[in-house]
Amino acid sequence: MKKEFDRTSIEGSARYFQNCVRNGDVESALDCFDEDAVYITGIGTFVTGKENIRKALEQVCALKPDLQALRSTGFTVGDITAWVDEWTLKAILPDGTKLDMKGTSSDILKKQPNGNWVYLVDNPYGAEYLHL
């Protein structure tokens, strides 16, 4: 049975995205982004636009990582939200190496006309930028 998420709530949208990544569902994960979105792929690197974001998501989703949110909070002004998510990610790379990551995202979401929230900026490495 597929778990339902209320994407008209910010937290529901964030959890939906994480669920898509865990299940390797690239198309549904991509649906969580605005047409003009920016996706941070690493410290100091990013991609823009859905086709480029798709390529980055394909790599992450292929791992079907155990991606979990620990704590979250957000601040909304109109149809824009600043969202902070503390997360963990565990996976096994194709070469057998274990991946064990944690971080704090710094994201911006936008409410769509249909009421769903989508990412304008998905920056899973938000706090790491303070250590550059």
Domain definitions of the chain by residue range? 10-131
Contact assessment for residue 5 and residue 22, using Cβ atoms and an 8 Å cutoff: no
pTM above 0.85, yes or no: yes
Question: What is the rounded CA–CA span in Å between residue 116 and residue 34?
Answer: 11
CA atoms of 67 and 77, how far apart (whole Å): 28
Per-residue pLDDT, 34: 97
What are the tokens at 4? 């339902």
pLDDT number for residue 4: 80
- Using DSSP's 3-state secondary structure scheme, residue 114 falls into coil
pLDDT of residue 1: 41
Q: The tokens 């998420």 sit on which residue? A: 5
In 1-132, where do the E strands start and end? 33-42, 45-48, 66-77, 80-92, 98-111, 117-122
CATH 1.10.287.10 for domain 10-131: no
Q: What is the pLDDT of residue 127?
A: 72
Mean pLDDT, contiguous 10-residue spans, the chain (132 residues) = 81 96 97 97 92 96 96 96 97 95 96 97 84 60
